[in-house]
Structure 1
Amino acid sequence: MKEVAVIGAGTMGHALALVHALGGCRVMLHDAAAEVLARAPTLIAAASHTLCEAGTISTDEAEAARNRVLLADTIEQAVANADLIVEAVVEKAEVKRTVFGHIDRFAPASAILASNTSYLDIFPLIPAARQKNAAIAHWYSPPYIVDLVDIAPGPSTAREVIATLHALYEGFGKAPLVFDRLVPGYVANRLQAALNLECLRMIDEGWASAEDIDFSIRHGLVDRLALLGHMRKMDYTGLEMISNGLAARTYQPPENAGYSAVLARLIEEGRTGVRAGKGFYDYGDEPVEDLLHRRDLGLLQLKKMLSKTTGGQG
């Protein structure tokens, strides 16, 4: 891929522009909101500096990647010469449908269209003429650190499109996982959704606090999951024990009622997460850029240690 267009420059879009630029692509980055697009170079620079600080890339590599990202005022300008178009706009069907319509109008017929959607079935939203070159390439935040990429075809996606995306991202040093069809939520998001339901139930019903839950995860789960994964961890536990636990039926998963009292209360209070300075936790007056920087450095250090421990195996 020589030229990539990234449509959407927000939380994921600017980061995906950096990922593709680090992979050697020329990137045209566009966002409908001028202020979001204007801020993207600062966010890209901060992320690349963090990668340099961790020793993941050199300063020369960071500068070269930043220079390969250009801002486009319009979708037409962004996609006019694109080999690959990465859609990373808000997770609303009608917004995506509109964006796909503009892409269809201005992009080369040969361009591959890859959506970063987390849950939506985007294929009914894409014009018929684009279906054979359309796929899902779903990333996790921050994508310049987290390597998993979920790749899924639509009903009419050409096999070579999936093969091309797999080869491209594997060449970037990423970890693409190819599905033979769209599985809503893929694997990691489905597991996160189940974990979210259980955590919110425990808080809503007064069984545990946010601090209790994170304490239990950090000291009881995360080290074994990071080293082994979950299914291999089950092997080490012993499958007879897992089977006995199922038979006892002492655990019943929560029903998804589409609502959580604690989430509703926090959101109403303006406690929406680190970008608001508070969520389940209070982050004080520390700038969000500093919080993200510290998170990214920690992830990079953990990733480096895990790579040494597991020999780079997932």
Structure 2
Amino acid sequence: MTEPARAAPEQVRTVTCVGAGVIGGGWVAYFLARGYRVVAWDPAKDAETRLRHLVGRAWPALTELGLAEGASTDNLVVERDLATACAGTDFVQESAPEDLVLKRTLLAEIDAVTPEDVVISSSTSGYGMTEMQDKCAHPERTVVGHPFNPPYLIPLVEVVGGTETAPDVVAWTAAFFRHAGKSVIVMDHEVPGFIANRLQEALWREALHMVAAGEATVEQIDLSITDGPGLRWPVHGPMLTFHLAGGQGGMARMLDHFGPSLESPWTRLQAAELTPALRDAVVEGCEREAGDRTIDDLVAERDRGVIAILRALGRA
């Protein structure tokens, strides 16, 4: 079987964005700022008006961050016909509403009118590609590229294929997003909600529990993050943050010392059992992520980052 002759990730020139709502429009603004020609399609009658308004509102921030050579809002074309929008593209990013029936149908329609060598990526925030690709004639070129709102500012994209997705498509998609300036997580397995959404959903559920029980106000919950752990997370994620909580002993000491507190009724979520295998996996993962950086190095890095964030926000 001959491999599809798709463009190399760095050779992509035209991107088609299917769906022009908040997420789809954010993608349009981002790709325009990165110098791509963008073709957008959305069935809503006022889609073009809303899209150009969104891009216009995003453009000052994108300009401040720095535009790629040739970047211009003039590179946006809005098509009323899906086949025309997909005909000459190098990459498709679908951002339709989170409705499984709609996603399945639309991806099959995109698949039918898009050149066979072009990758089709979905912005879905919860569905797995396996459950969305089953109506596609060429499911092997469909993949999830899950962004975060607003896509034109938040760098993270989670990439994961379905059971029918070709491994080279996952690799190509990750390479394309990285070339386009995104921070990419390539997931080894499909997980409902992906990685970041599951973490933020856990925090969200706990917040709702506390409000419902009268244990905390909305304002208290927000302040607890913005002036608490939220200041550390842009520097080190939750794993390295707790790695430092163990002092010079790192994550191993933290788990051994604080591990029993996992059984405390602090959360409505059932705690994972701290088995030796889980403990070792977390400790080894922190050591890999830290690399050559010592605990002292990480502390200094964290402190510099938090100070920079506080200053940037005018709070120090």
Q: TM-score, normalised by structure 1?
A: 0.76
How many corresponding residue pairs?
258
Provide the residue aligned with 1:216 in structure 2.
224
Provide the residue aligned with 2:44 in structure 1.
33
Give the distance between the partners of 2:213 and 2:117, measured in 1 at CA: 53
Say whether the 8 Å CA contact 1:93–1:122 is kept in structure 2: no
Provide the residue aligned with 1:142 in structure 2.
150
1:216 Cα deviation after fit: 1.3
Greater radius of gyration (CA): 2
Q: Choose the corresponding residue for 1:85, options 81, 86, 92.
A: 92
1:173 Cα deviation after fit: 1.9
Give the distance between the partners of 2:40 and 2:28, measured in 1 at CA: 7
Say whether the 8 Å CA contact 1:18–1:69 is kept in structure 2: no
1:198 Cα deviation after fit: 0.3
Deviation larger for 113-122 or 189-198: 113-122
1:44 Cα deviation after fit: 0.5
Deviation larger for 216-225 or 129-138: 216-225
Give the distance between the partners of 2:162 and 2:181, measured in 1 at CA: 25
Q: Choose the corresponding residue for 2:137, options 129, 134, 154.
A: 129
Q: Output one character per residue of 1:64-102: Cα deviation in whole Å (capped at 9) or x when no partner.
A: 331221101121121112221111000001111221232
Provide the residue aligned with 1:250 in structure 2.
264
Q: Output one character per residue of 1:9-45: Cα deviation in whole Å (capped at 9) or x when no partner.
A: 0000011012222233221101111213321012102
Give the distance between the partners of 2:32 and 2:65, measured in 1 at CA: 15
Give the distance between the partners of 1:107 and 1:87, measured in 2 at CA: 12
SS in 1 for 2:260: helix
Q: Output one character per residue of 1:279-310: Cα deviation in whole Å (capped at 9) or x when no partner.
A: xxxxxxxxxxxxxxxxxxxxxxx99x56x99x
1:231 Cα deviation after fit: 0.7
Q: Does 1:229 align with 2:240?
A: no
Give the distance between the partners of 1:173 and 1:100, measured in 2 at CA: 25
SS in 2 for 1:110: coil
Gaps of 5+ in 1: 257-301, 310-314
SS in 1 for 2:265: coil
Give the distance between the partners of 2:236 and 2:189, measured in 1 at CA: 27
Alignment of 1:167-206 (within 5 A): 167-206=175-214
Give the distance between the partners of 1:23 and 1:236, measured in 2 at CA: 37
Provide the residue aligned with 2:26 in structure 1.
15
Q: Output one character per residue of 1:44-65: Cα deviation in whole Å (capped at 9) or x when no partner.
A: 021012222xx3125xx59833
Gaps of 5+ in 2: 1-11, 271-304
Give the distance between the partners of 1:197 and 1:62, measured in 2 at CA: 43
1:104 Cα deviation after fit: 2.5
Q: Return the letter of the residue paired with 2:118.
A: A
Q: Return the letter of the residue paired with 1:161.
A: V
Say whether the 8 Å CA contact 2:14–2:37 is kept in structure 1: yes
Say whether the 8 Å CA contact 1:6–1:87 is kept in structure 2: yes
Shift of the 226–78 alpha-carbon distance from structure 1 to 2, 3 Å rule, reads same
Q: TM-score, normalised by structure 2?
A: 0.75
SS in 1 for 2:92: strand
Provide the residue aligned with 1:287 in structure 2.
none
Q: Output one character per residue of 1:85-140: Cα deviation in whole Å (capped at 9) or x when no partner.
A: 11100000111122123213311112211001011123333234221111100000
Give the distance between the partners of 1:6 and 1:114, measured in 2 at CA: 10
RMSD: 2.4
Percent identical across equivalent pairs?
28
Give the distance between the partners of 2:46 and 2:120, measured in 1 at CA: 25
Q: Does 1:151 align with 2:159?
A: yes
